[in-house]
Amino acid sequence: MVVNDPEIVAELTALYPKYEAALVSNNAGTLTAMFWESPHALRFGATENLHGSEEIAAFRKSRPAVNLERTVKRLDIVTFGRDFGSVTLEFERVVGGKTVQGRQSQVWVRFPDGWKIVSAHVSTLP
């Protein structure tokens, strides 16, 4: 297995900005499409635990589209073989006039219909 094959890293590097743009613009359709459509998909957020693509999609549709902007401070992509990778990042966002630091991790898997997030976690630092 090749770790960080430049071709595969480039694929995820090209995909991630699409996710980030959809996130800060609250494009629920794009965000939902980027997750694996399965009851096994998982997203642990800052205030919620979502099990399965239906719960993830419902969260996206009901999320208020305010104060979603953030600044990515560090982005790391590691791939394993041709079909598995992780995307982790550190970010900052302003909440109530205060800068909050957060982190995000995603596990990506290549399926016949393309790359999908199978598991994600978002949290902020105290």
Per-residue model confidence as pLDDT tens digits over 70-91? 999 999 999 999 999 999 999 9
Residue-range domains of the chain with CATH = 6-124 (3.10.450.50)
Cα dist from 95 to 4, 52, 70, 105, whole Å: 35, 29, 10, 21
Per-residue model confidence as pLDDT tens digits over 103-125? 999 999 999 999 999 999 999 99
Both tokens assigned to 51? 């099990």
pLDDT reported for residue 107: 98
Q: CA–CA separation, 115 vs 111, rounded Å? A: 6
Whether the Cβ atoms of residue 68 and residue 62 lie closer than 8 Å to each other: no
pLDDT above 90: residue 67: no
pTM over 0.85: yes
Percent of the chain with pLDDT over 70: 100
pLDDT above 90: residue 45: yes
Q: CA–CA separation, 102 vs 71, rounded Å? A: 10
